[in-house]
Amino acid sequence: MAVVSATTHPTLLDYTKRQNPDKSIATIVETLSQTNEVLEDMVWQEGNQETGHRTTIRSGLPAPTWRKLYGGVQPSKSETVQVTDTIGNMEAYAEVDKQLADLNGNTAAFRMSEDMAHIEGMNQELASTLFYGDESVASEEFTGLLARYNDKDAESAENIIVGKDTNYGGTALSGVGTSIWLVVWGPNTIHGIYSKGSQMGLSKEDKGQVTIEDTTANSGGRMEAYRTHYKWCCGLSVRDWRYAVRMVVDADGIGADPSASGIADLTAMMSDACELIPSLSMGRASFYCNRKVKQALRQQFVNKVKQSTLGMDEVGGRSTLTFDGIPIRKVDAITMTEAEYVD
- What tens digit of pLDDT does each residue of 4-26 get? 444 445 666 565 555 554 555 55
The answer to the question of residue 66 being in a domain is no
The answer to the question of residue 73 being in a domain is no
The answer to the question of residue 70 being in a domain is no
Whether 193 contacts 48, CB under 8 Å: no
The answer to the question of residue 159 being in a domain is yes
Q: Report the pLDDT value the prediction gives residue 7, as an integer from 0 to 100.
A: 41
Helices (DSSP H) in the chain: which residue ranges? 12-19, 24-35, 98-102, 107-132, 266-276, 291-302
Beta-carbon contacts of residue 277 (< 8 Å; ≥ 6 apart): 182, 184, 242, 243, 245, 285
Phi, psi dihedrals of residue 242, rounded to the nearest 5°: -70, -10
Identify any residues that bridge with 33 across adjacent strands, giving them in sequence order.
Answer: none
Among residues 139, 142, 185, 180, which one has the least CA distance to residue 160? 180
The answer to the question of residue 120 being in a domain is yes
176-185 and 244-250 strand pairing: antiparallel
The answer to the question of residue 76 being in a domain is no
The answer to the question of residue 7 being in a domain is no
Tell me: the pLDDT tens digits for 34-53?
Answer: 567 888 889 999 888 888 88
Q: Specify the pTM.
A: 0.81
Beta-carbon contacts of residue 242 (< 8 Å; ≥ 6 apart): 159, 276, 277, 278
The answer to the question of residue 75 being in a domain is no
Give the Cα-Cα-Cα angle 111, 113, 116 (nearest 5 degrees): 105
Tell me: the pLDDT tens digits for 237-284?
Answer: 999 999 999 999 988 888 888 778 888 889 889 999 999 999 999 999
Task: Give the residue numbers spanning the domain of 26.
Answer: 12-58+81-339
- Domain total for the chain? 1
CA distances from 247 to 181, 295, 324 (A): 6, 17, 17
Q: Report the pLDDT value the prediction gives residue 167, as an integer from 0 to 100.
A: 75
